[in-house]
């Protein structure tokens, strides 16, 4: 009993997020939320004992005593929401540096942004009442992101939270989920008790039936005996005695009335059935809103070509760095490639221009040279003025005369002067039959005319 009281008090304070500790048979409570201290009218620490009386330092625990009354009143004030904060003692910047893998850039600057992750803990008190039993159980259900999760605050550095730090979210959906979960958790226990009660009821029903049967037999036997006796009395002729005997017979006959007997039996069975009912009572004991920082940083990464700010989030609860999304394919990664145009990409979406060697993502480099199939960036790609194909630098030439760009197929080397010229202007040499450029052809013709003059 004494231990039960201490256990109850301990659980109560744990639920509030306080620290509890036993020293001998004294339960010491520290880290009590201010709201309770105010309500209780006394500042922490609290020392509870079921043994030590008349000590102003120690709260004596007894049924109906001040401490227990205060606790139950505090609990009755339902809708109580306790705010707890997990206060992680880590160096988030170190963790981020450890967990991010920058492939072609350096981390320059981390600017902290305050962000919190929130989950709920619903504590339910359930009592099962049946026959002479009364069982109480406490269930804690954690909900995060509208999903029931396995939670346990054990081992986390928990302190009282502050309303000014976070915005309290709507908890209707989470509460609904926790109630559904509670139903599931109680199902086994309820079934177990129901089976037990059904068996017990069956036994008691049988007992009642047997009782009525044996009673009926007894009454019938008695009736027989009384009837025999009546015969004897009638022979003796004592009117008074006969009258008495007849009355006794009538009384037993009444008791044997089958309709009444069935009614009585049914009533007895009904009473048993009521006694075997199961009464389950659920009460929301406490709602705890637990929050913890997510270490969120605007992070500047940089290389020779570009600079970019990305958001990095480190979740201390899971000890993980939230993965970044590739700007190209949206897959998640911690291996970051920085594109010259400021995109962040995964390994698969990273491209190097094979012409200038600069680093891009697949969003920025979509062109391949139509001659050699190498990836070329927008700065390097060129279009042949004649055939319109897109090509890399090494497969194009500039026509000196017009300054236009042509592909190597559209500009032909003149066999006579060695210059690159557009194919259409070529003519066949009258003298050697070679394909020569228009200029060389004109010169050949002039020469011919001059030779003719001196002939
Ligand atoms: Zn990608
Ligand atoms: Zn390029
Ligand atoms: Zn890009
Ligand atoms: Zn090429
Ligand atoms: Zn061309
Ligand atoms: Zn030429």
- What is the structure's pLDDT at 453? 67
281, part of any domain: yes
Residues 86 and 44 reside in one and the same domain: no
95, part of any domain: no
- What is the structure's pLDDT at 162? 85
450 C-alpha to ligand 6 centroid (Å): 19
The CA distance from 324 to 114, in Å, is 19
Indicate if the pLDDT at residue 319 is higher than 90. Answer: no
Average pLDDT estimate for 141-158: 86
Average pLDDT estimate for 385-409: 88
Q: Give the number of whichever ligand sits closest to the CA of residue 399.
A: 5
Residues 9 and 147 reside in one and the same domain: no
- What is the structure's pLDDT at 248? 93
Q: Give the number of whichever ligand sits closest to the CA of residue 363.
A: 3
State the DSSP string of 354-379: TTT--EEETTT--EE-TTT--EE-TT
DSSP symbol at 18: -
Q: In this predicted model, which residue has the larger pLDDT, 286 or 93? A: 93
- What is the structure's pLDDT at 55? 84
Place of tokens 């010491």: 28
Q: Give the number of whichever ligand sits closest to the CA of residue 391.
A: 4
62, part of any domain: yes
How many domains is the chain built from?
2
- What is the structure's pLDDT at 330? 97
Place of tokens 């590739």: 326
Please check whether residue 159 is in contact with residue 153, taking contact to mean a CB–CB distance below 8 angstroms. Answer: no
- What is the structure's pLDDT at 454? 62
Residues 139 and 279 reside in one and the same domain: yes
The CA distance from 287 to 80, in Å, is 6
The CA distance from 142 to 123, in Å, is 9
Q: Percent of the chain, pLDDT > 70?
A: 98
Q: Give the number of whichever ligand sits closest to the CA of residue 418.
A: 6
384 C-alpha to ligand 4 centroid (Å): 12
328 C-alpha to ligand 4 centroid (Å): 25
- Beta strand 279-302 pairing with 81-86: parallel
386 C-alpha to ligand 5 centroid (Å): 5
Q: Domain end: 318, 345, 360, which one?
A: 318
Which ranges of 145-278 would DSSP assign to H, the alpha helix?
172-236, 239-255, 258-275
353, part of any domain: no
CA distances from 446 to 21, 166, 434 (A): 114, 93, 17
377 C-alpha to ligand 3 centroid (Å): 10
Q: Domain end: 290, 318, 346, which one?
A: 318
- What is the structure's pLDDT at 313? 92
Name the band, by pLDDT with cuts 50, 70 and 90, for residue 399.
Answer: confident
Residues 145 and 223 reside in one and the same domain: yes
25, part of any domain: yes
Please check whether residue 382 is in contact with residue 396, taking contact to mean a CB–CB distance below 8 angstroms. Answer: yes
153, part of any domain: yes
Give the list of residues 6+ apart from residue 430 with CB closer than 8 angstroms, or none. Answer: 444, 445, 448
330 C-alpha to ligand 1 centroid (Å): 6
Name the band, by pLDDT with cuts 50, 70 and 90, for residue 2.
Answer: low
Name the band, by pLDDT with cuts 50, 70 and 90, for residue 377.
Answer: very high
Indicate if the pLDDT at residue 1 is higher than 60. Answer: no
Range of the domain at 182: 80-90+114-300+312-318
234: phi then psi, degrees, rounded to nearest 5: -65, -35
Average pLDDT estimate for 82-107: 91
Q: Give the number of whichever ligand sits closest to the CA of residue 443.
A: 6
- What is the structure's pLDDT at 244? 93
Average pLDDT estimate for 122-142: 86
Residues 53 and 129 reside in one and the same domain: no
Please check whether residue 44 is in contact with residue 102, taking contact to mean a CB–CB distance below 8 angstroms. Answer: no
Indicate if the pLDDT at residue 256 is higher than 70. Answer: yes
Of 115-119, 152-156, 189-193, the range with the lowest mean pLDDT is 152-156
385 C-alpha to ligand 5 centroid (Å): 7
324, part of any domain: no
Q: Give the number of whichever ligand sits closest to the CA of residue 356.
A: 2
Average pLDDT estimate for 357-379: 94
436 C-alpha to ligand 6 centroid (Å): 5
Indicate if the pLDDT at residue 455 is higher than 80. Answer: no
351 C-alpha to ligand 2 centroid (Å): 11
Q: In this predicted model, which residue has the larger pLDDT, 354 or 72? A: 354
Residues 64 and 121 reside in one and the same domain: no
105 C-alpha to ligand 4 centroid (Å): 29
Residues 263 and 279 reside in one and the same domain: yes
135 bridge partner residues? 128
- What is the structure's pLDDT at 144? 92
> pTM of the entire structure?
0.56
Q: Give the number of whichever ligand sits closest to the CA of residue 360.
A: 3
Average pLDDT of the residues of the chain: 89
395 C-alpha to ligand 6 centroid (Å): 21
Name the band, by pLDDT with cuts 50, 70 and 90, for residue 174.
Answer: very high
- Of 39-43, 84-88, 206-210, 431-435, give the range with the top mean pLDDT: 206-210
Indicate if the pLDDT at residue 76 is higher than 70. Answer: no
The CA distance from 121 to 187, in Å, is 20
Q: Domain end: 261, 284, 318, which one?
A: 318
- What is the structure's pLDDT at 105? 96
352 C-alpha to ligand 2 centroid (Å): 8
Average pLDDT estimate for 373-381: 93
- What is the structure's pLDDT at 79? 52
Give the list of residues 6+ apart from residue 231 with CB closer than 8 angstroms, or none. Answer: none
Name the band, by pLDDT with cuts 50, 70 and 90, for residue 9.
Answer: confident
The CA distance from 280 to 136, in Å, is 10
Average pLDDT estimate for 12-36: 86
Indicate if the pLDDT at residue 107 is higher than 80. Answer: yes
Give strand ranges (E) for 24-105.
26-30, 46-49, 59-60, 81-86, 101-102
DSSP symbol at 43: P
57, part of any domain: yes
55 C-alpha to ligand 2 centroid (Å): 85
Indicate if the pLDDT at residue 77 is higher than 80. Answer: no
Q: Give the number of whichever ligand sits closest to the CA of residue 420.
A: 6
210: phi then psi, degrees, rounded to nearest 5: -65, -40
415 C-alpha to ligand 5 centroid (Å): 19
335: phi then psi, degrees, rounded to nearest 5: -100, 105
Residues 65 and 213 reside in one and the same domain: no
Residues 123 and 29 reside in one and the same domain: no
35 C-alpha to ligand 5 centroid (Å): 82
The CA distance from 117 to 411, in Å, is 65
Residues 284 and 225 reside in one and the same domain: yes
Residues 8 and 130 reside in one and the same domain: no
445 C-alpha to ligand 1 centroid (Å): 62
- What is the structure's pLDDT at 75? 66
347 C-alpha to ligand 3 centroid (Å): 13
Residues 130 and 38 reside in one and the same domain: no
Indicate if the pLDDT at residue 207 is higher than 80. Answer: yes
439 C-alpha to ligand 6 centroid (Å): 6
- Beta strand 101-102 pairing with 335-338: parallel
């Amino acid at each position: 009993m004494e231990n039960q009281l201490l256990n109850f008090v301990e659980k109560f304070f744990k639920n509030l997020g306080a620290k509890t500790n036993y020293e001998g048979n004294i339960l010491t409570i520290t880290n009590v939320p201010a709201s309770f201290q105010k309500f209780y009218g006394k500042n922490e620490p609290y020392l509870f004992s079921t043994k030590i009386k008349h000590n102003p330092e120690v709260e004596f625990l007894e049924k109906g005593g001040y401490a227990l009354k205060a606790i139950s009143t505090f609990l009755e004030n339902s809708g109580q929401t306790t705010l707890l904060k997990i206060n992680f003692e880590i160096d988030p910047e170190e963790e981020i540096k450890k967990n991010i893998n920058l492939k072609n850039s350096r981390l320059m600057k981390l600017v902290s942004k305050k962000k919190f992750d929130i989950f709920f803990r619903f504590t339910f008190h359930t009592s099962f009442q049946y026959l002479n039993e009364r069982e109480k159980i406490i269930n804690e259900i954690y909900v995060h992101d509208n999903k029931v999760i396995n939670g346990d605050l054990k081992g986390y550095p928990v302190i009282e939270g502050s309303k000014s730090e976070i915005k309290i979210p709507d908890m209707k959906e989470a509460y609904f989920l926790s109630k559904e979960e509670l139903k599931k958790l109680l199902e086994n226990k309820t079934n177990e008790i129901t089976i037990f009660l059904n068996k017990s009821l069956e036994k008691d029903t049988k007992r009642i039936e047997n009782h009525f049967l044996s009673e009926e037999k007894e009454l019938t036997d008695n009736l027989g005996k009384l009837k025999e006796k009546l015969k004897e009395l009638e022979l003796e002729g004592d009117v008074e005695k006969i009258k008495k005997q007849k009355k006794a017979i009538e009384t037993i006959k009444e008791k044997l009335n089958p309709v009444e007997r069935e009614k009585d039996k049914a009533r007895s069975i009904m009473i048993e059935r009521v006694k075997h009912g199961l009464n389950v009572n659920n009460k929301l004991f406490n709602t705890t809103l637990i929050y913890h920082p997510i270490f969120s940083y605007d992070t500047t990464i940089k290389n020779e070509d570009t600079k970019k700010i990305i958001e990095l989030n480190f979740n201390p609860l899971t000890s993980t760095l939230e993965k970044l999304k590739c700007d190209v394919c949206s897959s998640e990664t911690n291996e970051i490639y920085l594109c010259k145009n400021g995109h962040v990409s995964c390994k698969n979406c990273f491209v190097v221009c094979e012409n200038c060697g600069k680093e891009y993502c697949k969003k920025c480099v979509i062109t391949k040279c139509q001659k050699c199939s190498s990836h070329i960036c927008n700065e390097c790609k060129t279009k042949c003025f004649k055939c319109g194909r897109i090509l890399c630098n090494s497969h194009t030439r500039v026509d000196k005369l017009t300054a236009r760009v042509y592909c190597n197929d559209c500009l032909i080397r003149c066999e006579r002067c060695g210059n690159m010229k557009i194919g259409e202007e070529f003519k066949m040499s009258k003298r050697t039959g070679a394909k020569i450029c228009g200029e060389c052809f004109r010169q050949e013709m002039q020469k011919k005319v001059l030779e003719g003059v001196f002939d």
